[in-house]
Structure 1
């Protein structure tokens, strides 16, 4: 009976329970679930279908997807919360929680790969579904090789080792393989100038025969016309250039990049701004070379080379045209590979080969140094030898032998310096002197003198140094300062340069002392004394450092270490107490002789230097460096001591004869500006000449205003 009753109860419960879905027919509900199951006519309660597993229906398992953005959808139980997990881990791609029995996640990002797993799980349970798909999104198009403009090359990023096909609106295509860093580039041929939309797709081993979707079109300006040859304005043909370095200037197409070649050497590169370019470099081995400049425009087109200019490095003598043709064959290296940067890396792609025999490109590699040949004199062509010339071995004055010597230009500049610098300095000096009532400026405290009065010592301490020792030490110190006017490296040639500068400064000081002494004793019949002036070392250092800081080449130097003064002597009758005082005319005459001797010595050394052979070995380099030191130090010293302030030679000459001071100033400044002709040419090419004129005019106006105020306005206010 009990068994029959249990059987009848089970049948009744089975008839009363609602029908389960087919997918769940095999599952057996627990007794508790069976007891709590609602009647068929009642509303469903939450989580009544929690045992249902969510499913992924789109995309299908093992399906290929040609985009990194896609939609994933499927089914779930009503009111079931599901999560679509990210293949890379981290936060879910999306979460769906609603009463629907279907779900969808749109615009889901999937990375490229042959086996990207997608997994959906029910929140709070182990119910899930998983598939694997292959994904290859569209590549990107970035533009030309160097920017938004292109010379036919197009670059972008893609999946490593994939094959990218770029397409134009007329269905022209080019293909490229993506490198390991994710960059690609390919070349369209037969194009004309103009803007075009470019799209690209890619295929990989796991996607074939399918490929990715096409990328969004990118508008690229194609410029396949090569720029004209640039123009080199400096150095000019026949120049003698020091291996330590020089400046190269010229004109070109704005926005392009100009690269200068000396033979096979890639010397330097510079952008073209406002139609002009300039770069400075050294390191070219000794010898004669044809200097050529080429330019590459924004699109990457490399134009023809400029007209070759034969120049000599190591300051050799200017070769004749026949020698240049025989010793310097034209060098036309092909462009080197161009590196195209991209956000994910870079790819090396060969340069365009549309033009036959292109000129050397901006990226051309320099030849093996072992291939360099020695110069004509047998000197080594490599830096670091005794025979190497330095910056002081370069010829002084205008570069090139085809243009007249710029004496007229130097004279006009000298007049401008007289009016805007020398005279205003005299006005300023007089203004300061009258303001102080004629009192001299307070002396600076001594840094190395006695700090105890003489009476504190039982025996006054005396330190007497041999005057030749003092003079030699000062001369070496001055030579060291002079060398600072240019770059110095640890090479044997710079020890030779120190010797040359010591010799040059020694001769300059000998002329500045011996000639005035001879004049004072033979002509003026007065006694002259030589005074060593340690403060002159500060002037030497200041002039050299200023030349280095402002890159003045040839340098503006000061090389004097002392002065010659006239002393009071007894008269010829020898009367007791009768003394002869030097007059203003005698002091001015002696100062004029000193300045004239320095200027004449500079011209003499300059003339003799032009007759010497080029600096090709130790002896010729030493001679050139010594001669150039004499020219620069002598004329620089003459210019500086002509400044009519304080107790300088210029002040004494001006007090004696203003006309003579004016003439000497114009002559000295003229020689100086002639020696600095390369620097003047550089200022003109760079457009800084006008700024210097404005600065000089402003200085002159300020000095004149101060003089007028102190001379006329201030007395009326008292």
Structure 2
């Protein structure tokens, strides 16, 4: 029984022992074999118990999210936006930063989003980060390429080469667009670039873009730079030293003078260039001559070349003698006189003491002729003097010009046209009185041939075409012409303008003749008007008129001789009105067409400019009340109508000639012109008064 009781007690104690706590009952000592509780990461608690619960940490994937950014950023700032985990409280600070730039702080919105404008630096894979406490930092990489810059504020183009420079991203391929032409270069390591633009630049604008291997789509374009065309040659320089008749050494002579500030001066003796320099801001210049090839008499001349390659005419020559006073180009070399040609012989002490010539002399010795100017031949869209020939007709700046032009028109009528009409009337009466007196006669029959010879004569239409083409060809010589292909385009424009003006002058009176039942009319070419075309071109060149004063009417309209003078005057007035209106419309059109462009754009501009010049100029000349000009018939029919018409036409003409009038005013030439006009007016009025009043009184007495 005792044995059974022990077994039963042992059986009941085993479960109790297995379920007992790990602490010993006797004073808290720990059983080394008892199990111990651990944290989730396997670390033991100090007291072996489970720690109290803590705040929940963000999950591993709690990261700031950035909205997509452009693949290429083309400006220096960008807007970065995104979202934060829901565990981030609204109002928390988000720090957004771009590589190489200062960080920008923004706040989390109630919808757990953020947005910030940050600065970015140019480059490939620029790092952008967005961070907030309690979440992982977001990263993004973008490419940034800014627009390049152009240093100049304006590009002045001429017949020479022009340099355009600026800055860009190092190593980028830069493309410069000038009008319709493009030029390429590579940006240097210092971020600078330079492009040489040839002389075919026309008026317009220039912009630059750049591309890289990681940004093939390219940057934005730079700011637009205006281009102006300067085809005006500088004034010839003046030589102030040496004086004429001076004896100069073969090398080392100092040549000085004045010229336009900044112009490059080249000094020649015959065909040899002996020195070059640049005029200072005050216009003064001086250079030291290299060795002249031959001793004896010679003439020194200088030319000036401006920054865009336009060269002046030669200066007034100065005759001097090179070498000793007794030497001449044919003198044989002696031991006392330096040889005319280089040699290996020992030099004299005087020669050894001379200062060496400047480095320019080595270059100038090889110049047997003046340096050839830059090849002026350009593409068909090169500008010509007629591309930008007219001042603006409208606008605030033109108001003063119209007021001045009206005053000049009134003075022209009172001091030139009316006295000219008086002179013509005076001499006409003398011719009538003397018509009965003859001093010579014919010594052969008035009919020299029994049968008139048959000669091949071009048709009427062919003669009109020949006359119009000849008019267009003459008109382009109102300004200097060179061998550039653009002048062939100018010839086409000039012929088109002459054809348009003559078509209006022919068809307006023909149409009105039909309406007024004047009978049969016929358009013919009048070769005598070609002389007036040539005279206007010659006057333009002689008086340096810019823009040109052109005449282009070479067709006449034949009407029945039985028409009354009033009808003829009305036809003449409508003919001149049509020509003048066509010129004014062309002037307005020329202002509307954008400058620059290709062949057809330049052709339209030049055609409009020449049409305006020929239309207004022809109307002004034809309104002179002399001879067989239209103004004579209108003046005889209605003097008030003639006066109003001629004032309108002359006012427009003087507005166009505004640049020349302003130039004459600044140079003082306008005073000389005014003196001549006053003298002519006094002569005309005096002769008319004598013929009209004084002579009849003397005859009657």
> TM-score normalised by the shorter chain: which range applies?
0.3 to 0.5
TM-score of the superposed pair, with normalisation by structure 2: 0.48
Larger Rg: 2
TM-score of the superposed pair, with normalisation by structure 1: 0.47
